[in-house]
Structure 1
Amino acid sequence: MHINLYEQLANDLGGLIASRVFAPGDRLPSIRHLAQQKRLSVSTVMQALRLMEDRGLIEARPQAGYYVRHRSRTMAVMSDAVQLQEPAYVGINNLLMRVLKANEEPDIVQLGSAWPLDELLPMKRMQKIVAAVARRDAAMLSSVSCYETNHPEFARQILRRALDWGRLDPAEIVVTTSCTEAISLCLRAVAKPGDTVAIESASYFVLLQLIESLGMKALEIPVHPKTGPSIDALELAMNAGLVQAVLLVPNANNPLGCIMPEANKQRLAGLLSRHNVPLIEDDVYGDLCFTPERPWPVKAYDTTGHVMLCSSFSKAVSPGARVGYVLAGRYAQDVAVLKMVSSGATSHFFQAVLAEFLTGSAYENQLRKMRRALSQRIARMSDAICASFPQQCTVSEPQGGFVVWVGMPEQVDALLLHQRAHEAGVACMPGQLFSASGKYGNFVRLNCGNAWSPRVQAAVSTLGALVHRLADEGAPLRSAA
């Protein structure tokens, strides 16, 4: 049977993908390079690439070329019917502390905590800036202020980066010690013990920790794996007067990695204004989204000051600097007072260091590098999970960040998996930690921030074998970590 030239090229490249010469997340050679290398016309190469797209082997990325797709197991979407659970007090702190302690033991393969490795972070450049700032203004190493929280140049850089969203008031900025502190201050500013906070389900366990530590209740809002929390459910909760505050991660939710569509963000901003309900928006992954353009936060659509945007540069620049911030809207004064009495000013020295890093093109270059690397690492991890885990397992398709959310057969207890994985030298985060009501007992979150290596590959294979074993054992008793 006669095979056209473009079909032959598609088959040849498909064979290289099957043999992992080109791994999931890898970029294929350019169209011009393939045409020159194979002595084919550009149109023939483009026909071959379109055929490979139709076969689901590759995907085109705007202005970036063609990339190898990973194997996919789509997660189930939530029902169209909007149902709300009863608000519940959170009780994960004790369990979480035991899991985190176990996961941070030496020589364990770190698939649990959501951090990129040092080799992705700009440590050498940061060292030079630290030394330069220390030489130029050594007084900042010894000075301290309980009142003046913001270093003016750092605040200016935050406003500069937010220009695309519209004009922001400099008086909204409160610099904090991490994004976590920013969220905690915002919760304290707008809610009191016993109040109910609407959160995503599943939701990052630190957010649940904060709600628990402040004696508040959580109302879990169902989340679509692609488009984020149900705005219909949020509207229903607000209409019923069930919530005093909302706490969401609209851009690259942790653990799903989904991004709320712009229309949903705009609608949410209107709901907040009409019901006079504040939103605490965790945007720490906003700069690490894989979309062609950086997605706007809900803050961009806020015209009444109800949105409090919290973020930091810990994920992309320096976790150790411990510098975050909040654009606190109408609650800025309350947040500033709470910051002053809680911990005083965040280090002006490290604010100055980060301001210098943000001034030129270094930060944008760093983001391009990280997005490219993390996208590839997620693809490799997803492909390895599909190869090693039972067929019934599902894997999220993150649009940003560096974690994946894995659904396992119902009889698999994620806490027991964590326990056995720890004994085998692998760290993971059991799904029960991502829910106020103890849901997701058969889910696990895995970190993709590690550079791909035989050790990471073996760790995923070990987890897959353990999931197979637990699935075969049937429904186990729910275990403690």
Structure 2
Amino acid sequence: MSTSLNLYEHLANELGGLIASRVFAPGDRLPSIRHLAQQKRLSVSTVMQALRLMEDRGLVDAKPQAGYYVRHRQRMMAVMPDAGHLQEPAYVGINNLLMRILKANEDPSVVQLGSAWPVDELLPLKRMQKTVAAVARRDQSLLSTVSCYETNHPDFSRQIERRALDWGRIDPGEIVVTGSCTEAISLCLRAVARAGDTIAIESATYFVLLQLIESLGMKALEIPTHPKTGPSIDALEVALNAGLVQAVLLIPNANNPLGCVMPEANKQRLAALLSRHDIPLIEDDVYTDLCFTPQRPWPVKAYDTSGNVMLCSSFSKAVSPGARVGYVLAGRYAQDIALLKVVSSGANSHFFQAVLADFLTGSAYEIQLRKMRRALSQRIARMSDAICGSFPHECTVSEPQGGFVLWVSLPQQVDALALHHVAIERGVAFMPGQLFSASGKHGNYIRLNCGNAWSPRVEAAIATLGELVHRAA
């Protein structure tokens, strides 16, 4: 017994030393149990004891069927206020500010930690190039034929229907193909609400959703949102009982910017609550395929029995941002949304729908998702660890369950907009927290994109931001 104990403790200490010296950095996968057993000439059970001891010490995390990964330093975010702190609905006014920030962020000389797009190296561009050529050779008519009213290519619709089988069966008639997930959300808003109506949203939420609400002359009601479990159902119920809300717009899986995933019980309760009040939900599902959870989370739509839920998504984050193909599973609003789509922008390119359908048919997409999830979780861990090492101690960092952004709280006295102005001059771009609120909240928060490969340049950019935050605080 004594020898066994010494052996596994010795291995745990040895691996812990390698982690401390950054031979294994945050997010890195440790060698497999079998490899360690062979390399160290130990039994499998001894190696497993050592890894469990490291897990108890907070050095590694076990991921089912994936192995052990180096844990990063964590600073827990504070829980946000709940139902008793609802604000009044407000008209949104972020467009002018947002355009100034986006223009400044596009400077090619700065380190791009602002826009939430994956870099080219993570996308299957060569495979897509071959697929484009193959589809063009197979059916040249797709390059010339345009329909005035038929939005959907049958092969693409069939793939959407098949992928939905993971959580339920859908009526093919509720699929409406759009030019992007953003267009799908815009069409849904126009179908269920009018100027002056109030849309319930998460706080914080993706600024493009606020842009859409602003452009349509609608108001936003911010629902307090937990950094791990998502929007407060209790707070939303208070708003619904008061008759404040005409529609709800949420990102239940891998919220942008928090990265949280709503528990399945909350999704069930939300679907039942909205059905009882006959209030539609527009569900932004674009990041669900990039969740790090052991199983792909179900959407709220999986629990919808009334046709009130409209699920919007695309393949832009994991396959090709340039393909410009999105879709909505529109429930009982399918006819209205299809008409709005044709009237506002016409039918979509059937060619790129056929290309995506071809890509989705085999195993290429699942392979691509596994590659992206692994890379993104490692990059998030690296950046989170670097923030904990460079930023003031009172700063906290989100623990995203999907996507590739981090939400960072700064000391209360730090203004994220003023910090952005100084950071751009020092060659670092990010998104200030004020852009993620209809009422200008989150002024001491910033969002950082982790889609870039970790490099000395990115590491230096985080150190620079940490220095600027220290000065501002």
TM class by smaller structure: over 0.9
**Cα distance in 1 between the residues matched to 2:22 and 2:53:** 19
1:78-111: CA deviation from partner (whole Å, max 9, x where unpaired):
2455321100000000000000011011122110
Which residues of 2 match residues 167-178 of structure 1 at below 5 A? 167-178=169-180
Task: Give the partner amino acid of 2:277.
Answer: H
Please state how far the C-alpha of 1:6 moved relative to its aligned partner. 1.4
Residue of structure 2 in register with 1:464 after alignment: 466
Residue of structure 2 in register with 1:474 after alignment: none
**Cα distance in 2 between the residues matched to 1:236 and 1:410:** 29
Q: Does the aligned pair in 2 maintain the 1:82–1:232 contact within 8 Å?
A: no
User: Residue 49 of structure 2 is aligned with which of 34, 47, 50?
Assistant: 47
**Cα distance in 2 between the residues matched to 1:283 and 1:434:** 18
Q: How much identity, in percent, do the aligned residues show?
A: 85
Structure 2 gap ranges (5+) = none
User: Residue 130 of structure 1 is aligned with which of 126, 129, 132?
Assistant: 132
User: Residue 84 of structure 1 is aligned with which of 74, 79, 86?
Assistant: 86
**Cα distance in 1 between the residues matched to 2:45 and 2:349:** 57
Which residues of 2 match residues 413-452 of structure 1 at below 5 A? 413-452=415-454
Residue of structure 1 in register with 2:261 after alignment: 259
**Cα distance in 1 between the residues matched to 2:273 and 2:114:** 36
Please state how far the C-alpha of 1:201 moved relative to its aligned partner. 0.1
Please state how far the C-alpha of 1:16 moved relative to its aligned partner. 0.4
Please state how far the C-alpha of 1:133 moved relative to its aligned partner. 1.1
Task: Give the partner amino acid of 1:103.
Answer: N
**Cα distance in 2 between the residues matched to 1:296 and 1:377:** 25
Q: Does the aligned pair in 1 maintain the 2:83–2:235 contact within 8 Å?
A: no
User: Residue 196 of structure 1 is aligned with which of 198, 207, 226?
Assistant: 198
Residue of structure 1 in register with 2:63 after alignment: 61
CA gap of 1:176–1:341, structure 2 versus 1, over 3 A, is same
Which residues of 2 match residues 356-367 of structure 1 at below 5 A? 356-367=358-369
Residue of structure 2 in register with 1:476 after alignment: none
Which residues of 2 match residues 24-423 of structure 1 at below 5 A? 24-423=26-425
Task: Give the partner amino acid of 2:113.
Answer: L
**Cα distance in 2 between the residues matched to 1:302 and 1:449:** 33
Q: How many pairs does the alignment contain?
A: 471
**Cα distance in 2 between the residues matched to 1:11 and 1:419:** 45
Task: Give the partner amino acid of 1:395.
Answer: V
Please state how far the C-alpha of 1:35 moved relative to its aligned partner. 1.4
Please state how far the C-alpha of 1:140 moved relative to its aligned partner. 1.5
Residue of structure 2 in register with 1:479 after alignment: none
Mean Cα deviation higher: 189-198 or 460-469: 460-469
Q: Does the aligned pair in 1 maintain the 2:81–2:224 contact within 8 Å?
A: no
**Cα distance in 1 between the residues matched to 2:242 and 2:250:** 19
Report the 3-state secondary structure (helix = DSSP H, G, I; strand = E; otherwise coil) of the residue aligned with 1:331. helix
**Cα distance in 2 between the residues matched to 1:314 and 1:302:** 26
Q: Does the aligned pair in 1 maintain the 2:195–2:218 contact within 8 Å?
A: yes
Task: Give the partner amino acid of 1:266.
Answer: Q
Please state how far the C-alpha of 1:192 moved relative to its aligned partner. 0.1
**Cα distance in 2 between the residues matched to 1:81 and 1:243:** 15
Please state how far the C-alpha of 1:165 moved relative to its aligned partner. 1.7
Given the alignment of the two structures, is residue 10 of structure 1 paired with residue 12 of structure 2, yes or no?
Answer: yes
Q: Does the aligned pair in 1 maintain the 2:279–2:308 contact within 8 Å?
A: yes
1:252-283: CA deviation from partner (whole Å, max 9, x where unpaired):
00000000000000111101111010000000
**Cα distance in 1 between the residues matched to 2:301 and 2:146:** 31
Mean Cα deviation higher: 29-38 or 151-160: 29-38
- Runs of 4+ in structure 1 deviating by more than 4 angstroms, as ranges, are none
Q: Does the aligned pair in 2 maintain the 1:159–1:168 contact within 8 Å?
A: yes
Mean Cα deviation higher: 225-234 or 142-151: 142-151
Please state how far the C-alpha of 1:448 moved relative to its aligned partner. 0.2
Task: Give the partner amino acid of 1:222.
Answer: P
Task: Give the partner amino acid of 2:380.
Answer: I
**Cα distance in 2 between the residues matched to 1:232 and 1:341:** 38
CA RMSD of aligned residues (A): 1.1
Report the 3-state secondary structure (helix = DSSP H, G, I; strand = E; otherwise coil) of the residue aligned with 1:250. coil
1:100-152: CA deviation from partner (whole Å, max 9, x where unpaired):
01101112211000011000000000000111111122222122112000000
Q: Does the aligned pair in 1 maintain the 2:82–2:235 contact within 8 Å?
A: no
TM-score w.r.t. the length of structure 2 is: 0.98
Report the 3-state secondary structure (helix = DSSP H, G, I; strand = E; otherwise coil) of the residue aligned with 1:165. coil
Task: Give the partner amino acid of 2:162.
Answer: R
Q: Does the aligned pair in 1 maintain the 2:184–2:327 contact within 8 Å?
A: yes
**Cα distance in 1 between the residues matched to 2:141 and 2:37:** 60
TM-score w.r.t. the length of structure 1 is: 0.97
**Cα distance in 1 between the residues matched to 2:90 and 2:284:** 21
